[in-house]
Structure 1
Amino acid sequence: MPLAALLALPLQLAAANPAAPPVHHGLRGQLEVRAPRLEQAIEVDGRLDEPAWREAAVLTGFSLYQPVDGRPAPDSTEVLVWYSPTAIHFGIRAFEPHGAVRATLADRDRVSSDDYVELHLDTFDERRRALVFIVNPLGVQADGTKSEGGGFIPGANVAPGQNDLSADFQWRSKGRVTEQGYEVEVRVPFSSIRYAVGNPQRWGLQVVRRVQHSGYEQTWTPARRGSASFIAQAGRLVGLTGMRHGQVVELNPELTNTTAGTPRVSNGDGWRYANDANVGGNVRWAMGSDFVLNGTIRPDFSQVEADATQIATDQRFALFYPERRPFFVEGSDQFNVPNTLVYTRRIVRPEAAAKLTGKIGRNDVALLTAMDDRATTLDGSRPFVGIMRLRRDLGTQSTAGVLYSGRTSGARDNHVVGADARLVFGGMYFAQFQAVGSTTSQDGVRRTAPMWEAVVDRTGRSFGFHYALLGIAPDFQTDNGFVPRTGFVQPSFNNRFTAFGRPGGFFERYNVFVQTSALWRYDGFFDGESRLEHRLSANNQLTFRRGWSVSVTPALASYAFDPANYRGLRTAGTNGAAPAPFVPSARTGTTVSSFSVATPQFRRFAASAGTTVGNDVDFLESSRVRRQDWNASLDLRPNERLRVGATYVASSFTRRRDGARIQSLRIPRVRAEYQVARPVLVRVVSQYESTRRAALRDPRTGEVLLTTGPTAGSFVPSVERRGNALRTDWLFSYRPTPGTVVFAGYGNTLTEPDALAFQQLRRVNDALFVKLSYLFRLKQGD
């Protein structure tokens, strides 16, 4: 062979066999990924056959996280990653040798019953917050954020560390089921997400895979359950350079029209219809990669689906419903404050609002202003809302923050100022502290009051605890928050013990949460008074192979009824005497037990059922009752396009003194969805709510109690209240991308005299709803 040919041979072999891409094996600790930067543009078609994928970094070596951690994953997964100047690309190969792939053509954010893969991007490398991108095997999307610390996130009814799916990002994905499992292709434009300014970039990266037939959750890095943070156990994307974000301006005009009808009251015949048209819109300015300014004028905050009715097991407190309105949910994690001191559903119908969220160095900045509707005040003035949340990173995962929240109007002013800190230490411990003060002025009276909390938590693999002390003064008020109860001090002590089964065994995990708490009147706590309430429970949770779960919770409690809570009740006077103040019952003990069972997510269905029974108390009249609660759910998947979900909840109180049924609630609910195409959905939701509350009676004598009357100082006999209402809502939805939608819906409410008889139903209202919205992107970085 000529010498020139010999010299050229290595180059020819290299061209024929390019260097293998870097492989990062999670179980081997290869957690720092230097993804290649490629000047390529590809079509997102669900097929990983372009040349760029052969150069991408490969993530493999997954391990189990749920229900048992620290073991190699039984399913093989490969995730490919590379980036261009304008976007980051992920390719997913999920191999499935053990069972059928679960995949449906679902609506956005409704893939939790399918197999899916989550991509977590901690774009500021904070180790406590991440963007979450979720895809099922067909590429159907769910997205949002995961945030650790704070309280319930304002955008959704989720606890710290859970995925909040209220936010929507602009990104592309497509997938397909293969003979070996499934493949999904994902492209996330840099212009759709936030990240720090500067080069090179360093991001946290975690991949989570959910396998429905086994009930297993698997992670790329060997994440451990015995840790104060899941996000902090992510790997790293390093060396990201030359990324173009640009300034993106989005205009989102909206047109809504609602025609609502009610019967004519005057003669009971015919209907009266009122038309309400609204033109408004939103503007979003991504000023760079780390700040976003949102504004809205006369926004549409109508709900395409009503809140599912909840059961108030303790009738003394309000129920929490999640925020769903698009303007408020974006960046809601930056308003996350312990004890839900920011609850934007208090802003009922703003005429205009603006919001600025972003990050300066190690500081989170979040500002919100709104002018609410006149109907929300007694004097007809427009209330002005202002909220400011500032938070600073301390060390690796710890934070400290301050909050100002105010609502001012002609009749009432409320201002809340507070500070909080979360300190993470020792890998599995954190301590959290909060101090808040409120000032409220109304009718010439000014009241100030504090709220404070201290928490210490240990999240070990086999043992953990959560100890807290919370105090809220009687006059503490937050008009922009959700604080259902004031005037108490409550210490609580929760301990968890966990045992794990053998690999491959029928039993996989056992958790028992031993919880005890007590409650004092706020002033009584400092004066040495005896406690009003105390409770002890043991929540036993068992997880079995393939995802079966059982829970058993016995609970003991004791209640002393505070007379201050019964000032509006009187007992009828005898022999013409004036009504006397009602004296509640003496301290009462209760014994209640709960039991529930849930099936795995089978190919065509999943189900659960539960009950709570025992001797409890009715707080409205302080009587001893026998309590029975029931709940059941069934999720059906006849095919990949149709979903039917049915739930039933019921609750009843029977007075032990005389055996009378004094309270009952029954709520069957059916939701059916048909996904015509990926952006087109037809849905019907029907819910029947049957309620009955007997007249309040004195638990000692059985006489009917008197309640506050229509005029000052007057009292009238308590009366029975009942209602039977059937609400049905139909919806056609076309949503090709977030912000661009066509909704058309019709709903009505029917009532009848007898519960669940379906015989004398009478329509009492109806409404036709139409919404048109289009998202214009005037400038973008990709």
Structure 2
Amino acid sequence: ADRDKITADDNVQILLGTFHDHRQAYVFAVNPLGVQMDGTIVEQGQVLTGAWTPTLSGRVAPDLSQDFVFTSKGRLTEYGYEVEVKIPLKSLKYQSGDVQSWDLNVVREVQHSGHEDSWVPAKRANTSFLSQSGTLEGLTGLSRGLVLDVNPSVTQKVTGARAANGWNYDRGSPQVGGRVQWGITNTLTLNAAVKPDFAEVESDAGQFVIDPRQALFFPEKRPFFLEGLDAFNTPHTLIYTRRIVQPDAALKLTGKVAGTSLGLLSAADDRSLSPSGLDRAFYNIVRAQRDLGGQSRIGMAYTDRVLGNDYNRVADVDGRIVFGDVYSASFQGAKSFDRSSGVTLNAPLWEGIFARNGKQFGLRYLFNGIGDDFRARSGFISRPGVVRADVDHRATWFGERGALLETLTGDFVLDDQWQYSHFMRHGDAQDKKVHWSANAGLRGGWNVGAGFYLETFGFDQTLYANYQILTPTGTTIPFTGRPRITNHDYVFTLSTPQWKKFNGSLLYVGGQDENFFEWAQADIDLIQLAMSFRPSDRARVDGTFDYQDYWRRSDGSLVGRNMIPRVKFEYQITRAIFMRLVGEYDLSEHDDLRDETRTNYPLIIDGQPANAVRSRSLHGDYLFSYQPTPGTVLFLGYGSRADGDPDPTQRFN
């Protein structure tokens, strides 16, 4: 298996908390053959949202985006297997004291049962897994020595289009750049980059737009920004490094000093990315978090983006208080200051969360708001101008040891959302949701879930402000949708155990849901299928298939359809040499749009008829990787995208 791809194997994980703060830990894992997986765990009171059926409370999953230098080996024995791990101090950040104590736990993932064993007994009924670690005491004479990594790069970009004879390519000029990482002290690391290369990064998987009022989120994948990324985490993602698209230069300082985690980031983006092509966007970002007591914390963040005469600044204070082992209260307050094209806007963001993370009973009460004019141009705000109140209760029943039904978790959610200005005038909620769902964990690692969603959505005048109706006489009248649409959805989920050769998962959602194309009810199908096939110890094939369609309830005609199949093939030639191929096909189409709920007349959007649209695209990526250690790498990559003719019988361009 490739590095970090051993989750389908039985494996042993070493959790090492070098700051002895019970909040963060390095993760070093190996499978029975010594293949490595590594990353970090940072517990900041993360709340799992977006799941279609409930999940058990448990430890925070490790972030595997970072790679560290360490050696490992493993061997099978007549009674099981043995692993040996050697971790150099150069790979770690740790305290500066002469005598130190570190947090330590060892976890074994048992694939045939889907269970975990830990060296130190741990309770689910706790807000923190790391706080239940053991202690490695009496460490003295620790020294990292010189920690310096240099990664030069050369990239060549070729663009072209079909010409009368073959293709017309513009090859441009090669770009030379690189990254440098320097361990200033045991606790602080400085990263610098000049025209960094991100060619080894896998392309983003396609996503569906389920609610057009919300922006899609794509996670960071670029190595320069991934290192120490946890230092910049904030509630509501006020720091989103993908806003820095193609930096000409960037500087980052991360670490922890005297119980305070620090993150400083400055970057200058490429001029060609600005609207004028002449101005350069400058980013300056500060994030600090201070430990309080056993598991509590308080933090602040400040972001500054300047582009010509425009600016965007956001100031934030947030914190989390933990008490009684299973209870926590979190808060956040922020304000944005934005000037764009001579227009100045200021607006607040606020949030409060109370949670209980018990073994058999858990709850979460959430209340937050984002002002209409809140702008975070260095962050990611999915949808501004809303207020949300959410009540979530979870109960879990545990079966007898050896029983077929190991766990049964039920969840009940009330979720209301207002337009911000309407809430301030004591108006009614725009969207109202009631969700019932359950999930069963079966012996051997199977999971089966089901849910029923009852939802009602209010008409959003802002979303349809540019819509009009074309009458038979050729005149236009305003588009005024029905005040409210009521929906009901049925949810089914299934996931298999992590077998040696195969594992998979399925999500199906059916029923009646909102047709945002025409603001009407529609019969829907949503399918998300994921499979992983491992034909040998060296080869791995991952496939996903996402499908979504909307059918008019008036006559059964198709309103819209989206389909994204994606396949990734990985082959581990040797432990240090790795090859990856990725292919993805995207299809999106919708019918001629009409006023479905009233007149059935055609719709006009932005002054143009909303005629049928069909688009296709094909993506391909190839990567060859030679990585004897995480600090020594050679990447050779190639990426291509072709846009297809709407006619499925025609070729791609």
> Which residue is equivalent to 1:327?
224
1:516 aligns with 2:408: no
Structure 1 partner of 2:63 = 164
In the alignment, structure 1 residue 429 sits paired with structure 2 residue 327? yes
Task: Name 1:506's counterpart in structure 2.
Answer: 404
Q: How many residues get paired?
A: 642
Residue 9 of structure 2 corresponds to: 114
Structure 2 counterpart of 1:543, from 441, 447, 467: 441
In the alignment, the residues of structure 1 paired with residue 651 and residue 123 of structure 2 have an alpha-carbon distance, to the nearest angstrom, of 55
Match of 1:452 among 314, 339, 350: 350
Taking a change above 3 Å as real, the CA distance of residues 557 and 733 of structure 1, as seen in their structure-2 partners, is same
Gaps of 5+ in 2: 49-57
* CA–CA distance in structure 2, aligned partners of residues 355 and 455 of structure 1: 31
1:646, distance to aligned residue in structure 2 (A): 2.1
Gaps of 5+ in 1: 1-105, 154-158, 709-714, 765-782
**Partner Cα distance (1:302, 1:480) in 2:** 23
445, 467, 490: which is aligned to 1:569? 467
- Work out the CA distance in 2 between the residues paired with 1:680 and 1:619: 47
2:251 aligned counterpart, secondary structure: strand
Distance of 1:444 and 1:340 partners within structure 2: 26
8 Å Cα contact 2:199/2:637 also seen in 1? no
**Matching residue within 244, 249, 267 for 2:143:** 244
Give the SS at the match of 1:677: coil
Determine the structure 2 residue equivalent to 1:28.
none
In structure 2, the CA distance between the partners of 1:748 and 1:294, relative to structure 1 (3 Å rule), is: closer
Separation in 1, partners of 2:489, 2:335: 37
Give how far 1:178 is off.
Answer: 2.2
Superposition pairs of residues 752-763 of structure 1, within 5 angstroms: 752-753=644-645, 760-762=650-652
CA RMSD of aligned residues (A): 1.9
- Equivalent-residue separation in structure 2 for 1:529 and 1:523 (angstroms): 9
Q: For 2:642 and 2:129, how far apart are their aligned partners in 1?
A: 47
C-alpha distance 455-276 of structure 1, shift in aligned 2 (>3 A):
farther
Q: For 1:139-538, what aligned pairs fall within 5 Å after superposition?
A: 139-149=34-44, 161-264=60-163, 267=164, 269-379=166-276, 380-538=278-436
Change beyond 3 A, Cα 1:744–1:250: closer
Alpha-carbon distance between aligned partners in 2 of 1:262 and 1:411, rounded to the nearest angstrom: 36
- Give the CA deviation at 1:526: 2.2
1:693 corresponds to which residue? Answer: 590
Contact preservation (8 Å) 1:624, 1:657: no
In the alignment, the residues of structure 2 paired with residue 385 and residue 360 of structure 1 have an alpha-carbon distance, to the nearest angstrom, of 24
Which of 727, 740, 743 in structure 1 is aligned with 2:635? 743
> How many Å apart are 1:434 and its aligned residue?
0.2
Q: How does 1:544-693 map to 2 (within 5 A)?
A: 544-572=442-470, 575=473, 577=475, 579-693=476-590
Alpha-carbon shift at residue 315 of structure 1 (Å): 2.6
What amino acid is aligned across from residue 736 of structure 1 in structure 2?
P
Contact 1:385-1:408 within 8 A present in 2 as well: yes
- For the Cα contact (< 8 Å) 1:539–1:553, is it kept in 2? yes
**Partner of residue 722, structure 1:** 614
CA distance in 2, matches of 1:606, 1:360: 43
- Distance between the aligned counterparts of 1:682 and 1:246, measured in 2? 34
In the other structure, the counterpart of 1:81 is none
Q: Structure 2-normalised TM-score?
A: 0.95
CA distance in 1, matches of 2:185, 2:546: 48
The aligned amino acid for 2:370 is I
The CA distance in 1 between the partners of 2:45 and 2:208, in whole Å, is: 26
Query: Greater CA deviation, 689-698 or 207-216?
Result: 689-698
Verify the 8 A CA contact 2:160 2:167 in the aligned structure 1.
no
How many Å separate the matches in 2 of 1:332 and 1:751?
34
Q: Which has the larger radius of gyration?
A: 1
Find the aligned partners of 1:547 and 1:599 in 2 and give their Cα distance. 7
Partners of 1:152 and 1:340 within 8 A in 2:
no
Misfit runs of 4+, over 6 Å? none
Structure 2 vs 1, CA of residues 526 and 268 (structure 1 numbering), >3 Å: closer, same or farther? farther
More displaced 10-residue stretch of structure 1: 386-395 or 130-139: 130-139
User: What pairs up with 1:762-777 in 2 under 5 angstroms?
Assistant: 762=652, 764=653
> C-alpha offsets along residues 463-519 of structure 1, whole Å, 9 cap, x if unaligned?
000110010000001001110101111000111100000001111001112111101
1:622: how far off?
Answer: 1.0
Q: How far apart are 1:743 and its partner, in Å?
A: 2.4
CA offsets, 1:257-299, max 9 Å, x none? Answer: 33344323xx474332424422111111111111111111111
Equivalent position SS for 2:186: coil
Q: 1:729 to 1:247 in 2, by over 3 A?
A: closer
Aligned residue type for 1:172: T
Q: Distance in 2 between matches of 1:478 and 1:754?
A: 37
Report the CA distance shift for 1:571/1:405 in structure 2 as closer, same or farther (over 3 A): same
Question: 3-state DSSP class of the match of 1:702?
Answer: coil
Shift of 1:357: 1.1
Deviates more, 1:477-486 or 1:726-735: 726-735
Whether contact under 8 Å (1:150, 1:337) holds in the other structure is no
Letter in 2 for 1:761: R
Deviation at 1:409, TM superposition (A): 1.0
Q: Does 1:131 align with 2:26?
A: yes
Q: Structure 1 pair 247/751, CA: closer, same or farther in 2 (3 Å)?
A: closer
- CA pair 730-530 structure 1, distance change in 2 beyond 3 A: same
**Percent sequence identity over aligned pairs:** 40
**CA separation in 2, counterparts of 1:760 and 1:445?**
47
- Report how far residue 753 of structure 1 moved: 4.9
Deviates more, 1:301-310 or 1:210-219: 301-310
Deviation at 1:430, TM superposition (A): 0.6
CA contact (8 A) 1:152 1:339 kept: no
Q: Counterpart amino acid of 1:147?
A: V
- Deviation, structure 1 residue 206: 1.2
Evaluate the alpha carbon distance shift between residue 152 and residue 739 of structure 1 in structure 2; reply closer, same or farther with a 3 A threshold: farther
Residue by residue over 1:546-579, the C-alpha shift from the partner in whole angstroms, topping out at 9 and shown as x without a partner, is: 10110111111001112122111112256464x3
Do the aligned partners of 1:449 and 1:473 also contact (CA within 8 Å) in 2? yes
| Residues 520, 532 of structure 1: 8 Å contact kept | yes
Amino acid at match of 2:181: R
- C-alpha distance in 1 between matches for 2:530 and 2:60: 25
Q: Is the 8 A contact 1:152 1:336 kept in 2?
A: no
Q: Secondary structure at the residue paired with 2:429?
A: coil
1:605-639 CA-partner distances (Å, limit 9, x unpaired): 11222211000002232111111012222221221
Separation in 1, partners of 2:165, 2:393: 60
Q: Is 2:623 aligned against 1:731?
A: yes
Alignment of 1:17-166 (within 5 A): 106-149=1-44, 161-166=60-65
Q: Which residue of 2 aligns with 1:86?
A: none
Alpha-carbon offset, residue 751 of structure 1 = 5.1
